[in-house]
Structure 1
Amino acid sequence: MYRAPLAEISQTLNQVADLPELLKTDLFSELSPDIVEAILQEAAKFSETRITPLRTKGDHQGATLKDAKVTTAEGWKELYKDWTDGGWNALTGDPAYGGQGLPTLLSVAVAEMWNSGSLGFAIASTLTMGAVEALEHHASDELKNTYLEKLISGEWSGTMNLTEPQAGSDLGALRCRAERADDGTYRIFGQKIFITYGEHDLTDNIVHLVLARLPDAPAGTKGISLFLVPKYLVNEDSSLGARNDVFCAGLEEKLGLHASPTCTMIYGDGFGDTGDKGAVGYLIGEEHKGLVYMFTMMNNARLLVGIQGVAIAEAAYQKARAYAAERRQGRSLNAPKGAEMSPIIEHPDVQRMLLTMKGLTQASRAICYSCAQALDMAKADSTKADFWANRASLLTPLAKAFSTDSGVDVASLGIQVHGGMGYIEETGAAQLLRDARILPIYEGTNGIQAMDLVMRKLPLENGGHIHGFLQELRDIAGQAKTSGKLSAIAPQLESALDATEEATRLLQDCIIKGDSQTALCGATPYQRLLSLTVGTLYLTKAGLQDSRAAALAAFFAENTLQETAALKQVVFNGAASLSNAATILQDI
């Protein structure tokens, strides 16, 4: 059974993500360490006692569709009500609309616990929080006053409607259309697929944020507008009105996340109660600028998907460690002669797997929390807002990609630790891997994250931001050199930083020269190279203050960070062989 890792969470918040410095800012000065600790304790209790016990039931029962209505698994609706009644959905919301105005950093730590309890449950609030942020930044006051309070409280939920059958990551291919109405609203027509919690029974209303094209829209991504399309229209007194012309036409049968309804949504088939054909929509911001607005929601979602990877990894590690402590097989090297079989946790190879799982989990947690801290500092430190916004931009693809890759890797290792029993659904280890597998795919595949990192984030501040960041990491390595606990791994840290610096400069030169082919060929290995370096230095930062963290940092540096040398070679030399071998793919 899952137990929230409060010691590791608090250590990462305070020793890596610099929560104490954040609390010194005027924006968050009223939030004390004692309040933070109390929030974490209560979140842990709710996740352990309410969410986690329903994880398996949600997986087995799933969500069902009948007459365009989705029913969630048994206990889900009551769980959601108790969760929102506890104020958990409102943590970071604007206080003007009933939110608590707490830091993103704290909400990310709490979200980790929800997702470790059940990813299928927690993903519902992830999309609502993203919708809230998009409306806070871009919607009119009228829309904010109508929708924000109930979205922030969780009384209503939100969705993100991007994908269509012919348009996945390439949003320029969207066909969903919008038509202007005489009353200033719009009518939306089309189909959207893969819509998480697009229909469900947890809330009275569902607020869809939908990308669509107007008839006179420019081609490509510059012609996309963003619309708010509620399931039920809202009357002037805030009561629910007519059923809008938007319905769920199907549920996907998925490898994992069975408890989360993944919907095909149909807009404008004429089955609503408004009397007109077409779903009533309200423009967010200006026409043809929807993709810019949606990225506000997507960037928030990418960090929260990263924390899903951390959460799955943590749950998988805990399950594997508990099994390894109980399962007896063979005798360990240190067992006395004639002793009975030893717990497999005493065997070196199992120890190696468990420590790799823990190292990947903790490194991913540190990257995600640091990304959240940068987002908060961009709001709290007006004198360095641009710097912190750039830091958040740089860390976002790492948080999304490395953490979700780690979630899959750790869940897979968890099955290996279980042996044959891990392949059996009874243990629950298989569900974690099935649930984790979507994480490197949705909210922008990890390959897209790598492209974004290399082509958009390395050029920040004329290429200077990444080098300033690497210098900060070198300062940590310098402290390790003089630390008795970590001095032995200082050479490995410096070698990884050198490899990262060289690969960074190569890719930046490619971008300047217009050699996008070489840059893109090296993007994915570079993303892992940078992530391993950052993650290990963050582990080292914690290890400078704690002996247990130091032991984990040393293990990770010796056993995983060594990949960086090989990854640098791939960045430098892999483009030619990739381009040459790609001709094979044309053979039929």
Structure 2
Amino acid sequence: MNPYIAPLEEMRFVLRELADIESVSRLTDAEALADPELVDAILEEGARFAKEVLAPLDSVGDREGARWSEEGVTTAPGFSAAYAKFIESGWNNVSIPAEYGGQGLPNLLCTALQEMFVSANKAFCFCPELTSFAVKALANAASEPLKSFYIPKLVSGEWTATMNLTEPQAGSDVGALRTRAVLQADGSYRLFGQKIFISYGEHDLTDNIVHLVLARIPGAPEGSKGVSLFLVPKFLPEEGRPGQRNDVQCTGVEHKLGNHASPTCTLVYGGSGEGAVGWLVGEENKGLQAMFVMVNSARFNVGLEGVALSERAYQQALAYARERVQGRAVGGGAVSVPIIQHPDVRRMLLVMRSQAEAMRAVAYVLAAERDLAARHDDPVIRRERQAFVDLMIPIFKGWASETGIDVTSTSIQVHGGLGYIEESGVSQPLRDVRVSAIYEGTTSIQAHDLVERKLVRDGGAALRAWLSQVHLTLNILGQAGGEDLASIEFNLSSAVESLQAAAEWALANYRERPLEVLAGSVPLLRLCGIVAGGWQMARAALAAKRLHGDPAFLRRKLLSARFYATHVLPQAEGLAVIAMHGGESVMALDEAAF
């Protein structure tokens, strides 16, 4: 398997030319980003850690996996040492606010680092990622005693944390959960129930694990309005150290398609009959609001997994295409040539490359907008940026995860028969990324969210505000001239027209025909993602024309943008047709006829 190399030149280009790192650097406590040398040093050190520490364990973790026994879960060989190095190097707390002991780096720079680490070893990243989410949830909603005791241990990496939402009977319907929490005389609660699909719910990396658990207090309202959030440690603390074992047990780990090194656990609370001791986080019956801080960040990071695994798969496919000699050149010749010279292999590589670049650009721009929405001095700008973020989170999560599946599958095709052989390692990115379209809300859930909460709720205002930015880019393209930019303008303009038509149709018909609209919501979501990617590729092309840097790199950027325009953006028209006219046929067939 070829080693992972972070695409630093591409990352710097996106940070500076598309995500506007200068604007983010003017935010409070983000001044460090104004120093290009410091930013480069952080990126280079992150790339080194990804290449030298995390990437070599990726195939080991895939092959060995995490192993369960009655004594606990043992992680794959090398993971414990890698975690210790990760903590020692400070990578675990880069995104955590400085007031809680973290480094407080902006989302924008953390996104670039997270992409590197996930590309190198996705299964490893679940653990520190979940812990950082938990810190933010506790900081937002927990009482001061819980904050002061638990957050320092989590920020230091001494302890880790989990999210506990899913139950066997509930699945994505969190309101149907049955885990119950019974109030005790001392103000604590005793929890009884079962949670499934808990990433790193048990492991040997740290000596304590802090579970954030959704449960229902007796007498609470039905559905999601009666859900509360609780902090339940694996060991009950004594003077800052793990003490007595709490009544929470891991009864097994799942045997999964991918991410073998990440233990996906079943946790039983109160199995001994005593109940697991926990403490309420936030207010009663408002657990989803408290957990939402974790969920929204998680959805962005899941979309980023599509970017990261697409990059990893592209690097594997490109290396193989350059090395694999097979067949003579189409134009003739006496000797066999590397397969990268064959037209359709080149097409597949460019499909992978251009979509990885488009997803990365959207991810970094969205990360910058999250920074502006959270930290800008002007409340009007904060509201505007938050509206953009709220619109784009489901689009990015759904589109990038689905596209990541397509790109990693294409890598197997480039490798031919070797890609189908497990020992080659080519299937791992596909197996690892496949779950990204499922967890933290399936693609259909994201699509329903887009239609019902983002389009219908504000009458399409946020979408129109975004498309007004796209039209500004189209105007600049029209004035710039040149065959490459003209091709990009034509295809992006056509795609925008298709999106506008599909979105307006959804808005006009949702009240009367909601089932038909929702039946076409996933094509609508993918249409939004493709246009978002085309918009950023168009901006990249304009920057490549304007700049005077490495001519080879800038030419690659321009040609990649043109390829995306001519091979990906034309899909928009077909997706719009399905979104507008496909729902009727979906709902026409009687259930008994399936």
Q: TM-score range by the shorter chain?
A: over 0.9
Q: Give the equivalent residue in structure 2 for 1:364.
A: 359
1:29-56 CA-to-partner distances (Å, cap 9, x unmatched) read: 2432222111110000000011111111
Q: Give the equivalent residue in structure 2 for 1:496.
A: 495
How far apart, in 2, do the equivalents of 1:451 and 1:503 lie? 15
1:207 to 192, 206, 210: 210
2:303 to 288, 303, 306: 306
Q: Give the equivalent residue in structure 2 for 1:412.
A: 409
1:355-408 CA-to-partner distances (Å, cap 9, x unmatched) read: 000111111112222221111111221422111111111111122111111111
Matched, 1:464 2:461: yes
How far apart, in 2, do the equivalents of 1:375 and 1:361 lie? 21
Matched, 1:559 2:562: no
Task: Judge conservation of contact 2:160–2:208 (CA < 8 Å) in 1.
Answer: yes
1:113-169 CA-to-partner distances (Å, cap 9, x unmatched) read: 111111111121221121112112111111111111221222211110011110111
1:176-229 CA-to-partner distances (Å, cap 9, x unmatched) read: 100001100111100000100000001111111100001011000100000011
How far apart, in 2, do the equivalents of 1:222 and 1:382 lie? 34
The amino acid that maps onto 1:586 is A
Task: Judge conservation of contact 2:516–2:587 (CA < 8 Å) in 1.
Answer: no
Q: Give the equivalent residue in structure 1 for 2:388.
A: 391
Q: Please, what TM-score do these two structures have when normalized by structure 2?
A: 0.95
1:59 to 58, 62, 65: 62
1:531 to 529, 532, 545: 529
How far apart, in 2, do the equivalents of 1:521 and 1:324 lie? 39
Q: Give the equivalent residue in structure 2 for 1:239.
A: 241
Q: Give the equivalent residue in structure 1 for 2:507.
A: 508
1:317-340 CA-to-partner distances (Å, cap 9, x unmatched) read: 0000000000011112356x32x2
Q: CA deviation at 1:587?
A: 3.5
Q: Give the equivalent residue in structure 2 for 1:436.
A: 433
Gaps of 5+ in 2: 545-554
SS in 1 for 2:170: coil
1:244-285 CA-to-partner distances (Å, cap 9, x unmatched) read: 111100111111111010000000112xxxxx8111111010
Q: CA deviation at 1:522?
A: 1.8
Matched, 1:376 2:386: no
Q: How much identity, in percent, do the aligned residues show?
A: 45
SS in 2 for 1:166: coil
Task: Judge conservation of contact 1:481–1:488 (CA < 8 Å) in 2.
Answer: no
Matched, 1:102 2:109: no
The amino acid that maps onto 1:587 is A
Task: Judge conservation of contact 1:68–1:249 (CA < 8 Å) in 2.
Answer: no
The amino acid that maps onto 2:586 is L
Matched, 1:569 2:577: yes
Gaps of 5+ in 1: 271-275
The amino acid that maps onto 1:524 is V
Q: CA deviation at 1:92?
A: 1.4
How far apart, in 2, do the equivalents of 1:49 and 1:27 lie? 31
Q: Give the equivalent residue in structure 2 for 1:353.
A: 348
Pairwise CA RMSD of aligned residues?
1.4
Q: Give the equivalent residue in structure 2 for 1:586.
A: 592
Q: Give the equivalent residue in structure 2 for 1:127.
A: 130
How far apart, in 2, do the equivalents of 1:68 and 1:454 lie? 47
Q: Please, what TM-score do these two structures have when normalized by structure 1?
A: 0.96
Task: Judge conservation of contact 1:390–1:460 (CA < 8 Å) in 2.
Answer: no
SS in 2 for 1:342: strand
How far apart, in 2, do the equivalents of 1:27 and 1:510 lie? 46
Matched, 1:14 2:16: yes
Aligned length: 577
Q: Give the equivalent residue in structure 2 for 1:421.
A: 418
SS in 2 for 1:195: strand
1:11-38 CA-to-partner distances (Å, cap 9, x unmatched) read: 1222221111111223412432222111
How far apart, in 2, do the equivalents of 1:459 and 1:35 lie? 44
Matched, 1:544 2:542: yes
1:39-118 matches, within 5 Å, as 39-118=42-121
Q: CA deviation at 1:463?
A: 2.6
SS in 1 for 2:205: coil
Q: CA deviation at 1:428?
A: 0.8
Q: CA deviation at 1:97?
A: 2.0
Q: CA deviation at 1:461?
A: 4.6
SS in 2 for 1:214: coil
Task: Judge conservation of contact 1:93–1:100 (CA < 8 Å) in 2.
Answer: yes
2:520 to 518, 522, 529: 522
1:508-546 CA-to-partner distances (Å, cap 9, x unmatched) read: 2234x3532232122101001111011011011111112
Q: Give the equivalent residue in structure 2 for 1:225.
A: 228
1:179 to 154, 177, 182: 182
Judge which range, 152-161 or 284-293, deviates more.
152-161
Judge which range, 124-133 or 355-364, deviates more.
124-133
Task: Judge conservation of contact 1:257–1:434 (CA < 8 Å) in 2.
Answer: yes
Q: CA deviation at 1:475?
A: 1.0
SS in 1 for 2:198: strand
SS in 2 for 1:499: helix
Q: Give the equivalent residue in structure 2 for 1:273.
A: none
SS in 1 for 2:213: strand
How far apart, in 1, do the equivalents of 2:244 and 2:425 lie? 43
Q: CA deviation at 1:8?
A: 1.4
Task: Judge conservation of contact 1:13–1:19 (CA < 8 Å) in 2.
Answer: yes
SS in 1 for 2:349: helix
How far apart, in 2, do the equivalents of 1:146 and 1:390 lie? 35
SS in 2 for 1:158: strand
How far apart, in 1, do the equivalents of 2:178 and 2:513 lie? 32
